Structures are given as structure tokens and as C-alpha cells.
Structure 1
Amino acid sequence: MEPALGLAVRVAQQPGPETLDRLSEVLGEYLPHRMAAHLAIYCTATPVRAVGEPDLAAAVTGAELGALLGCVTAGKPWQGTVRIAGGEFPVLAVASDRAPSGALVVFVRPDAEPLPEETVELVQALWDLATMIQYQLTLTSQPEVLARARAIAQASETAVAELSEAHAAAMAGLLGVLRSRQVDDATARASAIDLALNALEDLRADAERRRTSGGEEPLGRAFQRLAGSLRPLLRHGPVELELDPPGESEFVPSDIAHAARVTTRAVVLAVLEQDKVRRIRVGWQLREGELVVLVRDDGPGELRDRIDLGHLAERVRAQRGRFEVDATPGWGLTVRANLPLAPRVPRHPAAGLGAREAEVLQRIALGHRNREIAAELRISESTVKFHVANILAKLGVGSRTEAAAVFHASVTG
């Protein structure tokens, strides 16, 4: 096998939209595949791209890749058979967290023979590199404008998704009551009215929360609200709901409590789409600056096309959280979402940056331009641009001005 460094250089030599072409070419000898397709949420121009057999490349969809992105954890490549590009194919799916919202590449393979571990590790490393290169290129192209546009689009998409999920939850509860053979007509009607009233109250509460952002909420009370919205979904069905509530005395930001409720409800709705689920366990845990959402089921434990968590995973990762799905055939799924209680921006810039990045940030804060920084540090101007893009990404800001403000706040604070 060619040294990994040599392969990495070959991939890096073809930046931009052609990165996938070069990655597919470089890996062809070690990973035979009929098609390679990627999903890069951070890239507004071409988030979905495919190369390989024309019929397969033309048929793959963003929805199929998005479903896999929600189930495949960064750093843990997955091999199996999925429905993609209009058929059932063996694939290797590899996710990367080297860009906000994550990125995924899927290789449709000619057979289902398990790949050697060293090959899988190589693919993961090269995809991390390709993701990082592509993301830096998007940042260096008018970063302030792109960051602002992404933030606006992301907020809009999140609001629409949350409303859709709330609507789906309300409809699922109503259908569960109306279809149940265990209740009479009068009881079903009363239950349906209660469900509708609860759904309206949730919508009003959400609208109020958006108008008056900020503040804190007791974690125990937030979980009780969640339980109140979940029980009607399962009350008249065959699935048992088990609740593992957090401590009553803890307080969290209201936005985080809301995000946890929305995330939990969306996961429960998704796992209910599976066959043979008879028990769902829901719990929240507060630990080390994060609110951890846990949902477990006793279903088939397979990542199939019946369960789609892709869009939810994107939203969690966009909030600088972590989203993981573990599937154990015969035992069920475990879905974990880690929601940070505060923005993951280090108090002192150097805490989250490399030594060279810290030097570049200090000069940005002094108002130096890229050419000046390159001369002072005796590096190329393109290298400075690369470091600037990394700094903006790590600090979670969209412009040099904001990065400088973070630096000055850390010094004066």
C-alpha cells in the first residue's frame, strides 16, 4: 500500500468540487467501488455530489445521504447494505466532524465482503482531510457573507423543522387514539380533544419562548413537559414508555431545555417507525457542561431506511453538539445527543488554537492584514488564509472583526 502521506498529498492536490473525484481515484485500488457520493451541509453551492457509474451517480439523493449522516458517527465508519440510488447496495459510509453539521461520503461497493480494518481507517483519515480542505475553501470565499447567510438559513430551517415535528407528534397522537380498539367513542373523543388542546398550548408556549429568549428553566420541570407530550403518543399503542428523569433542582438555559425536548420528541417519532419496537426508554443527564439526551429502544437494531435521523443530527451538530447512533442487531438502537450548555468558544483564544493559529489571531487583533502577517511570521499568504479560516471555525465566528473581539475580550476579561 502506498504510504498514507503520499495518498493524502494526492487528495489535497485537487481542492474544490473535484476533491471527490480525486478521493475516488486515489482509493480505487484499495476500495473498489461503483460510485462515491458525498453530502456536505456546510457547502451551499453543491452539498450533494456523486461520481462513478452514471446511472447510480444520477439516482442518489440528498435525502438518502442525509439519513445516513444521522446514523453514522464521525470516526466510526459503517459497512452494511442500505437502500440508495434506487436499489439495495452494500456500502461503506464514512462521516467526518471536521466541518459544522458534519460531512458524509458513501462508497457503493461491488460486494459485501468486509473490508480490512487498515483500509477503513485509511478512508476515514482521507475523508477527514478532504472535508477539512473543502470547508476551509468555503470559509475563505467571503466568510462574513457566507457565515451570515448560513446562520439565517439554518435558523429558518430549524424553526420549520421543529414546527413540522410538533405537527407530526400531534397527528400521531390523534391517530393513535382514533385507531385504538381499546377505548370507546366517548373516551376517544375526549382524548382527542385533550391532545389538540395540549398541542395548541405547546405552540403558544413555543411562540412565547421565541419572543422572550433567555432565562433559565428547572431541568426537572422541562423533562415533565416532555413526558406530558410523549405519553399521549404511546398511551393507546403497543409501545411502553419508560422515563428516566433528571434531578429536580438543576437549572439550564431555556433554549437548551427546548432543544432537548424537541430532539427527544423527534428521536422518539423516528424510532416508532420501526417494526417490532415494544419499549422506548427516554432519559436526560446533566454532566460536565452538557445536557445529554438518551433514547433507547428494543427494536431490530438495524440502520435501515425506515428510520431517518439525518436532519435532526444536522441541527444538533449545528448547535455545536454531538449526535451518535449505536445499533446492536437484536437489541435495539441507542441514540445520544450531547447539547452544550454554553457556546464552545474558549475563554482564551490560545486554549483552542494551535501555536501558529494563536500567533495569527494576535496579529489579526492588532489589525494586521494577511500580507503583513505572512511577512512577520515568514510564511506564505495562502498559509495565513488557511490559518485564518481555521481560527474563524474554531472560535465559531464569521469575520476577522469578531475574532479580534473574542481575543480582546479574553485579554480584558
Structure 2
Amino acid sequence: MPAPTTSTGSNRALEANRARALTEQADRCSVMLEAILAALRSPRLGDRAARQAATEVATNTLVELRTWTIEHRAAVVEPVTGAFERLRRDLGPLLRYGELDVQFVEPPANGRALPGEVAHAARAIVRNAVLTFADAGQARRVRIEWGCDGLNLLVGIRDDGAGDIDAHDDSLRPIVEQVSHLDGTMRVASTPGWGTEMNITIPLDPPEPALDGSDLTDREREIMRQVASGARNREIADEIGVSEHTVKFHVSKLLRRTGTRNRAELAALLH
């Protein structure tokens, strides 16, 4: 008897899940490396204490990564409070030895459980935002708040940095792509000298996107071809004679429609 075949749609879903798992682990490794650097650079720790702290961070993170891998295989939904507590643990090493003072505003205990994909993406979004603020070197305080209105996860992140970050900043591109992938919305408001505030809304029941090129414009087809070839936004803009922001808009739209979360997944899907 011939072996059962797997549909193209199932293969795509499997590959997308694997890519999300790899991205989640990459984000955790980024936080670990930032925490190690924070410990080694901390003026409060001597050389020996800094090395011990860095070793502790690496060891604990490796254990957490193994635990997460096991849990991820079975996770379908996560209580909103549990997902938020995991975020707090993820950021713990960075906050322990870094200079940022982070305030966590707990979500309602009776909030609706989050689909696994939404919970993972929301944690990655917050981690990326905190790392962006930390890299800028201006912020001293960050406030993180999660809420739920029954239909959407509401994420608020605010810092007291220089207030010079906007929605088109390259450092926010991974966040923009993640929010776009989940059909969410993102608003960034910065006030010079007062800081930056991000407000993100992520649907808890995002529609299943599908690839359908029948109604794409000629420009969108050309941008898809360029992305598949590995061209970056600036190269695409120069090639087809549009602004880089126009290319970013079309790429975000294509990510939503194809169900991919970044350019690498989109290029792989097109190939």
C-alpha cells in the first residue's frame, strides 16, 4: 500500500510552525546574550562576580530552552496570566544585571486564554521592544502592560528614552512584521525628551491567510519576484522606481496574505 501523501497546505503549516519555533528560540538566545553582556559590563560587579553572573544566566537559559521545547510541542492555548508570567521570566536575566527598570502591569486574571501562536508572538514582540530600548542606551524605565478585551490581546510598552523612534525605524521592522503576520495593528507615538509609547492590538482569532495571486497587481507580483530573489527593500525600490516605504507597505501586505511572518519565510514559500 502506498504511503499517504501530505497536502501542500499541511506542509506549509508545518514549515511555518517550525520557523516560528526557531524564531522563538532565537529571541530567547538574544535575550540571554544581552543579559550576559549586561552582567559583564555592570559597574556594580567585579570581574569574578560578573563571570559568575554570566555563567548563571547561560546555564539557566539553556535549562529554560529545553523546558520550553518540551512545552511548546503540546501548547495549544495559554492562560493570559501564565503567558505574561513567562514573559517576566524571559526578561529576568536582562533586568537583573542591566540598567533598565521595568514595570509589569499584570493582565486580568480572568482574561481569555491566548492561542499559542499569539502568546509566543506577543512575548517576542515585547522582548524585541525592550532590546530596542536597551540598545538605544537612553531609556532608564520601561512599562509593560497586557490586557484583553475578549477579542484582542492589547499590549502597551512605554519607555522614558529620547523619544526619537517612529514606526518606520529599522529597529522596529521585526515587530512590525510580527504584528502584520497576526493581522494586528501597531501605533508608535514618540515625544522628544519624553520617550516612546507602542500600542499593539493582536486579534485572538486571526483569519487563516491564504496565498492567492489572482488579484495581485503587477507591482505586487514584481515585488514578490524581487523578494524571492533575495533583494532588500532599497534594492527593490531602486529597481522598480518607487520609495522604500512603498516597498515596505507591499511586503507587509504580502506577509499577511501568504501567512508568512518574515521575508525568509515569504521567499521560501515563493520558491
8 Å contact from structure 2 (residues 139, 159) kept in 1:
yes
- Report 1:46-195 matches (<5 A): 155=17, 157-195=19-57
Which has the larger Rg? 1
Corresponding residue number in structure 2 for 1:408: none
State the identity %: 32
SS of the counterpart of 1:196?
helix
Amino acid at match of 1:253: P
Matched, 1:321 2:179: no
Matched, 1:300 2:129: no
SS of the counterpart of 1:281?
strand
SS of the counterpart of 1:343?
coil
Aligned mates of 2:63, 2:117 — CA distance in 1 = 18
Matched, 1:235 2:132: no
8 Å contact from structure 1 (residues 281, 296) kept in 2:
yes
Aligned partner of 1:211 among 56, 61, 73 = 73
Instruction: Summarize the Cα distance change of 1:234–1:288 in structure 2 as closer, same or farther, 3 Å threshold.
Output: same
SS of the counterpart of 2:206?
coil
8 Å contact from structure 1 (residues 158, 315) kept in 2:
no
Corresponding residue number in structure 1 for 2:197: 334
Matched, 1:199 2:32: no
Aligned mates of 1:311, 1:172 — CA distance in 2 = 17
Amino acid at match of 2:125: T
1:202 CA drift (Å): 3.0
Corresponding residue number in structure 2 for 1:311: 174
1:213 CA drift (Å): 3.9
1:193 CA drift (Å): 3.1
Structure 2 unaligned runs (5+)? 1-6, 209-253, 260-271
Instruction: Summarize the Cα distance change of 1:221–1:187 in structure 2 as closer, same or farther, 3 Å threshold.
Output: farther
8 Å contact from structure 2 (residues 40, 50) kept in 1:
yes
Instruction: Summarize the Cα distance change of 1:152–1:308 in structure 2 as closer, same or farther, 3 Å threshold.
Output: farther
8 Å contact from structure 2 (residues 157, 197) kept in 1:
yes
SS of the counterpart of 1:330?
coil
Aligned mates of 2:133, 2:16 — CA distance in 1 = 25
1:316 CA drift (Å): 1.8
Aligned mates of 1:148, 1:310 — CA distance in 2 = 28
Corresponding residue number in structure 2 for 1:246: 107
Aligned partner of 1:226 among 75, 87, 94 = 87
8 Å contact from structure 1 (residues 244, 283) kept in 2:
yes
SS of the counterpart of 2:99?
coil
Say which is worse superposed, 284-293 or 251-260, in terms of deviation.
Answer: 251-260
Aligned partner of 1:257 among 119, 127, 130 = 119
Amino acid at match of 1:296: R
Structure 1 unaligned runs (5+)? 1-143, 346-392, 399-413
Amino acid at match of 1:212: A
Aligned mates of 2:41, 2:183 — CA distance in 1 = 40
Aligned-pair Cα RMSD in Å:
3.2
Aligned mates of 1:227, 1:237 — CA distance in 2 = 15
TM-score (normalizing by structure 2): 0.64
